[in-house]
C-alpha cells in the first residue's frame, strides 16, 4: 500500500508565493524520480518539474526561474516552491513518484489526488 498526499495549495494573488508538499507513505523500498504535474481546465496534464534520486532537476520552460523542486529522501517527501506566481499557473497540481516496494526494485508510478492552486490577478 502506497499513498501520495499533497498539501500547500490555495488561493494567492499574482506575484505571491506558495510551497507545495507531497509525502509518500506505506510499504516503500526506494523512490526513484519524483515530480510535479499540473492540469488546467480544458488543457492536458503537463510536466512542471521533476527531480531524480540524485537531485538532478528539470523544469518546464514556463516556470524556469520561478519554481524550485527539492526532495528529502529521509522523509520520502518532494516540495515545489512557487514564486512570482501568475494567473496562468492556476491549475490542479499533482505529485508523482516512481516507487519500488520490495527487494526486486521494480518501480511503479504513483500519483497523488491533486491540490488546487488558484492565482488571482
121 residues of the chain, pLDDT tens digit each = 899 999 999 999 999 999 999 999 999 989 999 999 999 999 999 999 999 999 999 999 999 999 999 999 999 999 999 999 999 999 999 999 999 998 888 999 999 999 999 999 9
| Nearest partner of 23 among 1, 39, 3, 49, judged by Cα | 3
Residue 111 makes CB contacts below 8 A (sequence gap 6+) with 4, 94, 95, 96
Please give the DSSP secondary-structure letter assigned to residue 4: E
Quote the pLDDT of residue 104. Answer: 86
C-alpha grid cell, residue 64 = 524556469
Report the alpha-carbon distance of residue 24 to residue 31 in Å, rounded: 9
Quote the pLDDT of residue 102. Answer: 87
Quote the pLDDT of residue 52. Answer: 96
Amino acid at each position: 500500500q502506497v499513498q501520495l498526499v499533497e498539501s500547500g495549495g490555495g488561493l494567492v494573488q499574482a506575484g505571491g508565493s506558495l510551497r507545495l508538499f507531497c509525502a509518500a507513505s506505506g510499504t516503500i523500498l526506494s523512490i526513484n524520480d519524483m515530480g510535479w504535474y499540473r492540469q488546467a481546465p480544458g488543457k492536458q496534464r503537463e510536466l512542471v518539474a521533476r527531480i531524480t534520486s540524485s537531485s538532478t532537476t528539470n523544469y518546464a520552460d514556463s516556470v524556469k526561474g520561478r519554481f524550485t523542486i527539492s526532495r528529502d529522501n529521509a522523509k520520502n517527501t518532494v516540495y515545489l516552491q512557487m514564486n512570482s506566481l501568475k494567473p496562468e499557473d492556476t491549475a490542479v497540481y499533482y505529485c508523482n513518484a516512481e516507487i519500488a516496494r520490495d527487494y526486486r526494485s521494480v518501480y511503479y508510478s504513483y500519483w497523488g489526488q491533486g491540490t488546487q492552486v488558484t492565482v488571482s490577478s
